[in-house]
Structure 1
């Protein structure tokens, strides 16, 4: 691929989406090709059938290659599933005698301490994201290089994943003929595409509702403070309709997309729609309000799970910007209104930004993770600073994971001048 061409593969439970894009002089991304296929061999965000997943990923890649006229060699790939866990940790570096300014090497030592988690052999670091520094007790320092002090602390948000899940996903992508450049946790990718800097600063929850899971990322004071995975997603809505309406899954899914709502009070009680019965021998009539009642119950459960998780993590009073939904279910009519009623906070739909070209095809919250992967790739490659993330561009944030790259996702800081050196150093710490 051309040096300015980037590729992203979003591997989800419902679809596989491969995007090819190039950086443009206006610091935006121009989409060159799209390949979307139904997912196979992926359940609740994790590969459960190597052959099926590989075939679906291969088809998606080939469609994107034909669409773009580009051969995809490597790509940034989303990873999701409830195997992913996170924690906040602090690493420390001591500066002898306080007789010299803090250097990049001091930061590297602090990062090494933050990542020293004594993980079991079945866990691997996906992301270690710098949040802020503390210099001799001075909190919330954004860039300590050049400052004087005797003690440097580095606060990080660390996401870990199952080695098995990571290996299975990597095998599927590489069996499709593409090298995995980096694995990116899905809500982190989606955040890159839809969140405003002001929202991150004031505190915001991102909820990415996938097919089998809902993945949460909480941003406070410009940085990610909490991520988690809830074991419920769009498929659960459809399964509820299958049980409540007694119809085949594929037809009920179409019914959900065409007539679904989670605000039954907004639907005429007399409105009737036809649906296919099991066996396909006949149709039957169902109340559209009944469909909405079933969907409302499950959405309220998801909202309750989000609130409980954020409250348990201690951030319920720190999210003034409210909640942003991504994923296909984010387009369910009534979701925003119901969510604001239940949660009593601002709620909006996260639409992908910062791309053009074939972007009309991606103008949906269902593609937030896919587009976010492109932004993540551009930041990592230093190709564009449109979202303020890049090695020496915008906020100068270097991104990375346990595959040998470093995350320095900090607001308003030019860390690019030392992220490259730290990235090389971290490769010796975590083998690829």
Structure 2
């Protein structure tokens, strides 16, 4: 929705669904409403139960509508999951009239040329993101419009996903009466919220450790070079605690949040904790360091997987700005220090910035994607710097959905 400068985004994660409504105030984002609901029907970022996922999204959207005092007719939606794949490709076009400057239509043509890639029939292109342009051999042109030349090239980063997974996600949102304006890869959205321009310029890895997946976005020379989704996340840490301490899942999750630390040696070796447990007594006492050792083992494995994924894409010498951690698991004490030990790169925990309004719940690594989706939506509305195929179609189902959306606004509940 973009009526009157108001925008909405929906972050559908494995552990939570977060709907954010905001507007652009001067150069900062003003949050008008937030709706957070527990997630159901999703595993590793992909829908496994349409009905449960729809109910979770509905609860989140309704909360956001109440807090913002506005109806959400359409929104940009975050997409992730292990079905995501990426590749880099080049597009080339000729400029027929050398006496005129390069026009926006020429940029559109060269991006369309970059879209011509060989992908399986069951995959769909989500993003075609220009990394840089080349005008008559001149590299690293950020915006060729207005320049003169006879040949225009573009280096792009292309993100694809499996058709069925995208359709399932879109169906869940549309079942709530919200039209999907566009899909945005979640690590790219998180990068909008937590990275600064200098980090992108010098080379940085954005790592969003969510509940079911770990999302990676690698930026070099201010543009995205590589993206990936790993099938591990914070829920795996919790399950390790369940197995290691023989505790119920919720007790393990609470213990992770309250007493967890990524560096066991920084915890008093004699400190004890009490948590709920299986068995007749219903509770047990454990050494806090034992809990932290279990957490460290899994988080270290996740960070090693991240490092290996990045090194497959580029030489690690180009990662001058290091690694920025975000997502719910990034709230774990000491995770930035462990990241530096494991990867050898500088590390910090990234949180959303430059926000005003109802921001109390959002200044948190867990909501970096939610805020980033809104910021990406605003940037797209201001200037379309990347192109994606339109998902709108003039079939009868689409027409009826549009009429239903208007009915929600015009008719009282």
Regarding TM over 0.5, the answer is yes
| Contact 1:379-1:399 at 8 Å conserved across structures | no
RMSD: 1.6
Which of 385, 389, 396 in structure 2 is aligned with 1:398?
Answer: 385
C-alpha change, 1:37 and 1:279, in structure 2 (3 Å) is farther
2:12 is aligned to 11
2:41 is aligned to 41
**Number of paired residues?**
391
Map 1:150-189 → 2, pairs under 5 A: 150-189=150-189
1:430 is aligned to none
How far did residue 250 of structure 1 move? Answer: 1.1
Please identify, of 91-100 and 362-371, the stretch whose mean Cα deviation from structure 2 is larger. 91-100
| Contact 1:93-1:110 at 8 Å conserved across structures | yes
- Measure, in 2, the Cα distance between the counterparts of 1:90 and 1:314: 18
- Measure, in 1, the Cα distance between the counterparts of 2:215 and 2:282: 39
TM-score normalised over the length of structure 1: 0.87
1:300 is aligned to 300
* Structure 1 spans left out of the alignment, 5+ residues: 383-390, 392-396, 406-432
- Measure, in 2, the Cα distance between the counterparts of 1:234 and 1:178: 29
- Measure, in 2, the Cα distance between the counterparts of 1:105 and 1:62: 40
* Structure 2 spans left out of the alignment, 5+ residues: 393-413
- Measure, in 1, the Cα distance between the counterparts of 2:373 and 2:20: 9
- Measure, in 2, the Cα distance between the counterparts of 1:374 and 1:292: 35
Deviation readout 1:77-132 (Å, 9 max, x if unpaired):
11110101111000000234745433333322211110001333211111100111
How far did residue 404 of structure 1 move? Answer: 5.2
- Measure, in 1, the Cα distance between the counterparts of 2:153 and 2:235: 43
Please identify, of 339-348 and 5-14, the stretch whose mean Cα deviation from structure 2 is larger. 339-348
- Measure, in 2, the Cα distance between the counterparts of 1:165 and 1:370: 20
2:334 is aligned to 334
Map 1:144-223 → 2, pairs under 5 A: 144-223=144-223
C-alpha change, 1:99 and 1:399, in structure 2 (3 Å) is closer
How far did residue 352 of structure 1 move? Answer: 0.3
